[in-house]
Chain A
Amino acid sequence: MSTQSATAARLPRTVEQFMAYAYAMEVEAVERYTELADQMSTHHNREVSELFAKLARIEGKHRDQILARMNWRTPPETGVLRWETPEGPETTDYGELHYLMQPYHALKLAEHNERRAVEFFERFAAARVPAAVREAAREMAEEEREHVRLIQEWLARVPPPEPGWDEDMDPPAVAD
Chain B
Amino acid sequence: MNDAAARLAPADYKSDVKPVWCPGCGDFGVVNALAKALAKLERRPEQVAVVSGIGCSSRIPAYLSSYGFHGVHGRALAAATGLKIARPDLTVIVTGGDGDGYSIGGNHFLHACRRNVDMTYIVMDNRVYGMTKGQPSPTTEPDWDSKLSPDGTGLREFQPMVIALASGANFIARAFTGDPNNLADVIVQAVRHPGFSFVEVLSPCITFRPEQKDWKKIVRGDALRPTSDVPRAARRMLRDTGFDLGVLYAGERAPYAPRRPRGRRAVADLEARFEI
Give yes or no for direct A-B contact (beta carbon below 8 Å). Answer: yes
By a beta-carbon cutoff of 8 Å, the part of chain A in contact with chain B is: 1-5, 31, 35-36, 38-43, 79, 82-83, 86-87, 93-99, 101, 171-172, 174-176
- The residues of A that contact B20 with a CB separation of less than 8 Å are 42, 175
Q: Contacts A40-B23, A95-B24: A86 and B55 contacting too (C-beta < 8 A)?
A: no
Q: When the two chains form their complex, are residues A87 and B133 in contact, meaning their CB atoms are under 8 A apart? A: no
- The residues of B that contact A82 with a CB separation of less than 8 Å are 181
- The residues of A that contact B32 with a CB separation of less than 8 Å are 94
Q: When the two chains form their complex, are residues B18 and A87 in contact, meaning their CB atoms are under 8 A apart? A: no
- Chain A: CB-nearest residue to B216: A1
Distance between Cα atoms of A2 and B208 in the complex (Å): 26
B contact patch SS: loop
Whether B131 is near chain A, meaning CB under 8 Å from some CB there, is yes
Q: When the two chains form their complex, are residues B133 and A1 in contact, meaning their CB atoms are under 8 A apart? A: no
Using A42-B18, A79-B39, A93-B216 as known contacts, list a sample of 15 further A-B pairs with CB atoms less than 8 Å apart, ordered by residue number in A. Answer: A1-B179, A40-B23, A42-B19, A43-B22, A86-B179, A86-B182, A94-B177, A95-B24, A98-B206, A99-B23, A99-B24, A175-B20, A176-B54, A176-B131, A176-B132
Contacts across chains A and B counted by CB atoms under 8 Å: 94
Distance between Cα atoms of A94 and B19 in the complex (Å): 13
Q: Contacts A39-B23, A174-B133, A175-B20: A95 and B213 contacting too (C-beta < 8 A)?
A: yes
Q: Contacts A86-B181, A99-B23, A175-B20: A4 and B222 contacting too (C-beta < 8 A)?
A: yes
Whether B75 is near chain A, meaning CB under 8 Å from some CB there, is no
- Chain B: CB-nearest residue to A48: B23
Distance between Cα atoms of A39 and B11 in the complex (Å): 16
User: What is the distance, in angstroms, from A123's C-beta to the closest C-beta of chain B?
Assistant: 19
- Chain A: CB-nearest residue to B27: A94
By a beta-carbon cutoff of 8 Å, the part of chain B in contact with chain A is: 9-11, 18-26, 28-29, 32, 36, 39-40, 54-55, 131-134, 177-182, 185, 204, 206-208, 213, 216-217, 219-222, 245
Q: When the two chains form their complex, are residues A87 and B181 in contact, meaning their CB atoms are under 8 A apart? A: yes
- The residues of A that contact B55 with a CB separation of less than 8 Å are 176
Distance between Cα atoms of A106 and B207 in the complex (Å): 19
Distance between Cα atoms of A171 and B133 in the complex (Å): 9
Q: When the two chains form their complex, are residues B36 and A79 in contact, meaning their CB atoms are under 8 A apart? A: yes
Q: List 12 A-B contacts (CB under 8 A).
A: A1-B221, A3-B221, A4-B221, A5-B181, A5-B182, A42-B18, A83-B181, A94-B25, A95-B204, A95-B213, A174-B132, A176-B132
Q: When the two chains form their complex, are residues A95 and B26 in contact, meaning their CB atoms are under 8 A apart? A: yes
- The residues of A that contact B180 with a CB separation of less than 8 Å are 86-87, 94
Distance between Cα atoms of A39 and B20 in the complex (Å): 7
Q: When the two chains form their complex, are residues B245 and A3 in contact, meaning their CB atoms are under 8 A apart? A: yes
User: What is the distance, in angstroms, from A4's C-beta to the closest C-beta of chain B?
Assistant: 5
Q: When the two chains form their complex, are residues B26 and A172 in contact, meaning their CB atoms are under 8 A apart? A: no
Q: When the two chains form their complex, are residues B221 and A95 in contact, meaning their CB atoms are under 8 A apart? A: no
- The residues of B that contact A98 with a CB separation of less than 8 Å are 23-24, 206
User: What is the distance, in angstroms, from B101's C-beta to the closest C-beta of chain A?
Assistant: 15
